[in-house]
Amino acid sequence: MPRHPQSTKPMKRGRYPTSGSCATRAELVAEIAKRRALGWNINRIRIRFEICWRTAKDIVTKLERDSVA
C-alpha cells in the first residue's frame, strides 16, 4: 500500500525576520549598529526598538563578528 504524502500544500519557511519599530530589517540593523557604537547595551536597544532580547543579541553578535572578519 503506498504511503500518503505528508502535505500537498507548499510549505512556509517560518517567520520573516522582525524589523521591530523600523520599516525594514536592514534599517533595523543599521540603527542598532549606530546605537551599539554609542555604547548602548542589549537591553536598552531591545526596549528602544521593541524587539525581543534574543533578536537584539543575535544582530549585535552578527555585527561584531562581521566587523572582525
pTM for the model stands at 0.78
What stretches in the chain show pLDDT beneath 50?
none
What's residue 1's pLDDT? 66
What does the alpha-carbon distance between residue 63 and residue 50 come to, in Å, rounded to a whole number? 19
Q: In sequence order, which ranges of 1-69 are alpha helices (DSSP H)? A: 25-37, 42-49, 53-68
